[in-house]
Structure 1
């Protein structure tokens, strides 16, 4: 018998053969079961028990399972560990299967492939972050990148040569990228470095001719011209996404919005290294906390939060767009009362985009209907507030999108209870009075329960057994239960003529009656009938929403826009940010600029942030570079970063942390700040630094803003100096951009006298008793030294090491003044390091004035005593105070 395959296992093997690259979640009753190698892999990944069930070809069959009601959490764990999941459901009622024969297996089918880019459930997604699925298509050297978030319906495409793929993936952070089989290894490496899952598809999925027909069919149009002009690579990338969605969603396509073609020239270009260095949307340590996004996020809705992340990741280079956004934030600031009223309403807005998407995929429930209802109710309220406000066009466009939903909102309001259940199968979500047949069926069901209670009282009186109960379970239905002690009475005449014995358990005996059986049939039919009516009504309400999906989606987008504008206004108001001036010049004048993330951290510690000016205004086609010197820990890196962040904030449409800001359009932002080894690719810290620097020098144009920190520090001093020197010259002569260049190579400060567009600046410090005090002020001029030994002392290096460093530094500086040979001789004459204990500090001498001050207890002084004390202390000070030990 061990060689035979059971009908159920034959079915499993057939379905598994069609889904070899995914873990098959095979539905059996209330569980999803996995078998063979799927079970071994899933048990290890999920940390659940691995068991066995039966044999196949003489070997035990490994098996594990998870409860169906909590499967979503297991999906997420598996997706994060790189698996794909094929969800196989029972698509036939077991009663129907039995009609084909007692050994017939219930029909099952894979209803969905769960992959990183196709998640829609709230429990699997971050509400404030997009979950993009992307596709990269290359047709004879011309390439495009398409991306969609099926949980919101966003659908975009842009031309994307290979050199732009890395920066665009860094901007979008997609979870999954589709590529054609045989895609170039360089592209695959870029995708993997971006942290996305790579999914290869057959080349036919990327066929541009088939793709065009696929897109037209999806959007039910005869031509795509109404959406814009798309090249062959654009069509191929979009078509691959649609083909993949048809495959993974098994024909239930999401509600995608009309595709939008994006051009790279309309966005500020920020590469992956710069995004990482500036910590735009995630910190160096990973995660959102500590990033610029987390610092400025005042949005109240999930849609608004996603829009904020999009704008911050893709600052605009269209001056009219930027100025329109600034005007909207300014109007929100000026209309303080209206802005607060709008924010109060926005707090009640649910995530309509994702509710709409789940309904479109038929994965929604009553709460998604309620989310649309509640969102449209707040949309109507906000529309009424905006209609007569006289606010700028951005608000007026939003107001128009929020109008015209009264019919759908009224339908949903009348149909749904205030707090519906999660699942339609639970019932109870249709309001009383909405559907006459449902109300009558519910009345029968509910009154039947009352009749059961009355029947129990009658039977208790008839039998004389007060403890008699009428109960229900799924096996027996309704039954009468009594204890074994009283059962004999009911089994004897005359009660045995009424009460029919059904079951005896260890502690009780169960009976039924003809009357109870008849009533059970009526009650059960009423309950099932009510549930069927509710399910039918759910589908009709779902369809009513889907018929208006474009209008509902536009309303959701309008609410997100209003949320973002009012959030940025709230940020500007509370943090004292100003509206920047953006124009087509090459100006860059920041008055008292601040780093928003560092300032927030200092506020929590109760410390002030020292604001600094920055002037990188370039004339004509000339460069404008500031060479910044100063010790470590003085704030050079903060100064560099804050000016880059101010430019990004300004062009995303936000106010900026400064007293004033005039910024000529910035087309690119490049940052080379800090570096670490890239062990996976065999790159040292210095190599990583050079690769990033090369990218800047090869790509930066006249409108770029470049910040460079400590170029050349990872190699020998003269090598590093020569590289830094040549880099600055290239930025000045070839790139001709605006740049901040921080360095410890003080020799480079002489370039300010030789190059017209270069100026020196330094971060001010003070020395006191051998220690260095950081003032964090950026001033014109050059630093005279690096104060490295003093900083090392602050870091806690042993005193003997600090003392030795001073000796070596003094010798080196003396030798440099006296010539190379003399320097070598002095170094040779230095005694070897002796790790002798640091001398015991001598007692600090105190003046008589200090001694007297230590004896004073201010809280115990009367006003007269305090005045006399002042005269006494003044006299001691004038005498110079005899020093005492």
Structure 2
């Protein structure tokens, strides 16, 4: 940036800004963070603050704006939420130290931290119930590595695979706030799929050196203080190590300090969990309601009753990552069962959780030097609650309730109890945070400050008596320090040793040698006190950091305990049952319920439904029935019950036996993506293609109304072909619930061994229908569209006209009123035989021809019976339409 008229201060600013060109620079000047040039123009617009200028009389005034130092957090949050990085440039030396220097110079400044969407430590900027991840991708050979870090909790994970589509789904599942990518990936053909998965997320590109494997390996070993990565199980994951090492590089570059709380990394496999792709997560409304975007009306909103922030984050992760390991699932079920049986103890533990703060984030803030005295008090209260929780746990037998280590912190809590004041202010460099009696030197300084107030009161009384000026006051301000103030009308009575300091309209201000000596002593004591308290505070913080790993482990255990006890509470309150986990490949649900819908509906009772799917004779269920009857609810509740069982939860059913499912796919509805040039039908077909290409014989598929986005013939053809493909997929088929309005598909039950028809029962009454909401065996050939239209509020005139048109279509009426409609009739007739084999169609033609040529008047009754018997035998060989 060229600025020839730059002052020394502006030269300093420009030299720092040059190093952080991609960030908005908060440049500390006194009590404000100032921004200049393009930064000021951007920030003033986003923050809605006044844009002014520096050197207004110059030929080229410099645009500038500023925010108060003490209110910077709120402004920082808005910039981060708009996708910007902010470089915090502070004074790195005390201006008071320059007073002793003979030559005047600028206070040294430098960037002490770069705040990015993925590098946030402040509670005010974070959602306490959601992890805030920064994610990294790297590629070496055919393998793609993925790693992600929540610096606010210390959660750090790594994985690697040669299945690139799985990486894309993992990006969506992790849902990072920010991503770092190697520059070379921009040239790859698959790069667009990565950016699509990171839609509207902040992306930073780093040069290849940041991702170089050896550098990254050494960087991780240095961070973890190890000689190899064998102990973390990722030594052979070169692409993964590359991604993780790049994150550590980025952390060092932005945080400008050691991150001692990052002491290890967890290796996992992408196929360790039940895969729920992002579309399925949305369709099943697991985390967010589709209409409102909030958790109200979503599965998370119904189930999450956790009492701790750590528990809430873990609960959300359990929903998003159900297990595949039967033993681990059963361990969770065992724990929930025992918690329900010992509900009084469980309730007492949950009560203890109310005193437990966010230990994960507290530990990280302390380790990163972002904590204040109030955070240390919160830590003390949390750690003090752990022994009581531990005493209750001795009543339980399940492994999930047994901690891996002893979470006693007596020495640390004793230190915090003796040192940190409960009423400490939020700042840590102005004193008032350390208790009396903890440090002798500090106590002396506090005494001087405290006694000074009494001395000033005595001085005021003494001077009033000596001068006879009863209106004399001893006062203080930041500019002049301590002074004696006398009304102007009494200035003639002032003694000769008073030195005039300031003249006001109605008063005169004076100082004396005695007062200046006191000021030097007291002010010096206050400065020393603040400095000493800060030093003591940092020493206490160092002592806490020694316990960081143990605190983090305790936080993880409390999170798991909170999650399990919450699942037990929900199960008891809502009459959920323990599901059996079978190895036979069956999904059997008796009297199943949708956990969200049953809570949200008003005015009617939720109707439970039973369903049975297996790999033998009921693998693909074709479900028909009118709109609004409840098909979608049954489809969704089946998928959710399977998911809940595998996350280790009890389920909303009278009884359930669930096999391990590796993936759940859904194709439910579609919204036009006009901005991408995609129609409803194109979106529908892309989603269907994803399912057909990625489903396995162990998956569960939910298909709702496929093919309705195009013409009747095309839609019916595609729907049938998809159903047949799912029946035969990989020579084994896949468990599928297939809801449709194409009643012709019910014919598949007669030709495919593992397809079975079901329908949602309705009752007709006086040309109206009553939804029974019950799934029953067998197909249906009616959609009840006109009756549903009436229920939806379509005007009666339209309903009556629709009935007339339907009658014309069904009866071939070619009256003038139905000229435009009747041509549909031949299509419907052809539809009936659309999927018959050629030989079946030939048999049908022969039967019809024989009937056409029959001389009824010349046929005896016996001949007619024989002919009818012959035609019936031939007709039985033709599959029903």
Give the TM-score taking structure 1 as reference length: 0.89
Task: State the distance in 2 between where 1:236 and 1:48 align.
Answer: 42
State the 1:762 CA deviation.
Answer: 1.1
State the 1:84 CA deviation.
Answer: 1.1
Q: Is the 8 A contact 2:26 2:86 kept in 1?
A: yes
Residue 339 of structure 1 corresponds to 346
Spell out the pairing of 1:478-877 with structure 2 (5 A cutoff): 478-482=482-486, 486-489=487-490, 491-493=491-493, 495-602=494-601, 605=602, 607-619=604-616, 624-734=619-729, 736-815=733-812, 827-828=818-819
Query: Can you list the C-alpha shifts for 1:31-86, whole angstroms capped at 9, x where unaligned?
Result: 11110111111111111110001169831110011111111111121112121111
State the 1:186 CA deviation.
Answer: 2.9
State the 1:775 CA deviation.
Answer: 1.8
Task: State the distance in 1 between where 2:590 and 2:337 align.
Answer: 19
Residue 446 of structure 1 corresponds to 450
- Comparing 496-505 with 202-211, which one deviates more in the overlay? 496-505
Q: Given the alignment, which residue of 250, 273, 284 partners 1:278? A: 284
State the 1:606 CA deviation.
Answer: 5.4
Q: Given the alignment, which residue of 224, 229, 232 partners 1:224? A: 229
Task: State the distance in 2 between where 1:391 and 1:456 align.
Answer: 72
Q: Given the alignment, which residue of 223, 245, 269 partners 1:263? A: 269
Spell out the pairing of 1:227-266 with structure 2 (5 A cutoff): 227-230=232-235, 231-253=237-259, 255-266=261-272
Query: Can you list the C-alpha shifts for 1:334-392, whole angstroms capped at 9, x where unaligned?
Result: 11111011001001100111111111111111122122211111112211222x31421
Residue 394 of structure 1 corresponds to 400
Q: Is the 8 A contact 1:678 1:684 kept in 2?
A: yes
RMSD of aligned Cα (Å)? 2.0
Q: Is the 8 A contact 1:667 1:703 kept in 2?
A: yes
- Number of matched residues? 813
Residue 423 of structure 1 corresponds to 427
Matched residue of 2:495: which SS? helix
Structure 1 residues 691 and 524, CA, compared in 2 at 3 Å: closer, same or farther?
same
State the 1:416 CA deviation.
Answer: 1.7
Residue 855 of structure 1 corresponds to none
Q: Is the 8 A contact 1:702 1:738 kept in 2?
A: yes
Structure 1's unaligned 5+ residue stretches are: 816-821, 833-885
Work out whether 1:328 is the aligned partner of 2:335.
Answer: yes
Task: State the distance in 2 between where 1:608 and 1:436 align.
Answer: 71
Structure 1 residues 31 and 578, CA, compared in 2 at 3 Å: closer, same or farther?
same
Structure 1 residues 52 and 744, CA, compared in 2 at 3 Å: closer, same or farther?
same
Matched residue of 1:801: which SS? helix
Q: Is the 8 A contact 1:355 1:368 kept in 2?
A: yes
Matched residue of 2:147: which SS? strand
Work out whether 1:475 is the aligned partner of 2:479.
Answer: yes
Q: Is the 8 A contact 1:623 1:732 kept in 2?
A: no
Q: Is the 8 A contact 1:471 1:479 kept in 2?
A: yes
Structure 1 residues 419 and 772, CA, compared in 2 at 3 Å: closer, same or farther?
farther
Structure 1 residues 507 and 768, CA, compared in 2 at 3 Å: closer, same or farther?
farther
Residue 215 of structure 1 corresponds to 220
State the 1:487 CA deviation.
Answer: 2.8
Residue 842 of structure 2 corresponds to none
Q: Is the 8 A contact 1:587 1:617 kept in 2?
A: yes
Residue 62 of structure 2 corresponds to 61
Structure 1 residues 831 and 741, CA, compared in 2 at 3 Å: closer, same or farther?
closer
Matched residue of 2:184: which SS? coil
State the 1:571 CA deviation.
Answer: 0.7
Q: Given the alignment, which residue of 185, 202, 205 partners 1:197? A: 202
Q: Given the alignment, which residue of 405, 408, 424 partners 1:404? A: 408
Structure 1 residues 824 and 366, CA, compared in 2 at 3 Å: closer, same or farther?
farther
Structure 1 residues 189 and 46, CA, compared in 2 at 3 Å: closer, same or farther?
farther
Matched residue of 1:157: which SS? strand
Task: State the distance in 2 between where 1:150 and 1:23 align.
Answer: 21
Q: Is the 8 A contact 2:386 2:408 kept in 1?
A: no
Structure 1 residues 831 and 714, CA, compared in 2 at 3 Å: closer, same or farther?
closer
Task: State the distance in 1 between where 2:99 and 2:530 align.
Answer: 24
Residue 318 of structure 2 corresponds to 311
Structure 1 residues 702 and 661, CA, compared in 2 at 3 Å: closer, same or farther?
same
State the 1:403 CA deviation.
Answer: 2.4
Structure 2's unaligned 5+ residue stretches are: 824-881
Q: Is the 8 A contact 1:500 1:511 kept in 2?
A: yes
Q: Is the 8 A contact 2:621 2:755 kept in 1?
A: yes
- Comparing 178-187 with 263-272, which one deviates more in the overlay? 178-187
Query: Can you list the C-alpha shifts for 1:672-715, whole angstroms capped at 9, x where unaligned?
Result: 11111122322111101100101101111111011010000100
Task: State the distance in 2 between where 1:269 and 1:117 align.
Answer: 25
Q: Is the 8 A contact 1:5 1:56 kept in 2?
A: no
Matched residue of 2:402: which SS? helix
Q: Is the 8 A contact 1:623 1:733 kept in 2?
A: no
Residue 174 of structure 1 corresponds to 176
Give the TM-score taking structure 2 as reference length: 0.89
Q: Is the 8 A contact 2:460 2:474 kept in 1?
A: yes
Residue 436 of structure 1 corresponds to 440
Structure 1 residues 102 and 806, CA, compared in 2 at 3 Å: closer, same or farther?
farther
Matched residue of 1:284: which SS? coil
State the 1:798 CA deviation.
Answer: 2.1
Structure 1 residues 768 and 302, CA, compared in 2 at 3 Å: closer, same or farther?
same
Task: State the distance in 2 between where 1:665 and 1:582 align.
Answer: 7
Matched residue of 2:516: which SS? helix
Task: State the distance in 1 between where 2:169 and 2:340 align.
Answer: 34
- Comparing 419-428 with 287-296, which one deviates more in the overlay? 419-428
Matched residue of 2:190: which SS? helix
State the 1:831 CA deviation.
Answer: 11
Residue 19 of structure 1 corresponds to 20
Query: Can you list the C-alpha shifts for 1:767-790, whole angstroms capped at 9, x where unaligned?
Result: 333332222111112223111112
Structure 1 residues 57 and 180, CA, compared in 2 at 3 Å: closer, same or farther?
farther
Task: State the distance in 2 between where 1:425 and 1:738 align.
Answer: 64
Task: State the distance in 1 between where 2:529 and 2:5 align.
Answer: 45
- Comparing 518-527 with 104-113, which one deviates more in the overlay? 518-527
Structure 1 residues 830 and 717, CA, compared in 2 at 3 Å: closer, same or farther?
closer
Matched residue of 1:797: which SS? coil
State the 1:192 CA deviation.
Answer: 3.8
Q: Is the 8 A contact 1:147 1:156 kept in 2?
A: yes
Residue 850 of structure 1 corresponds to none
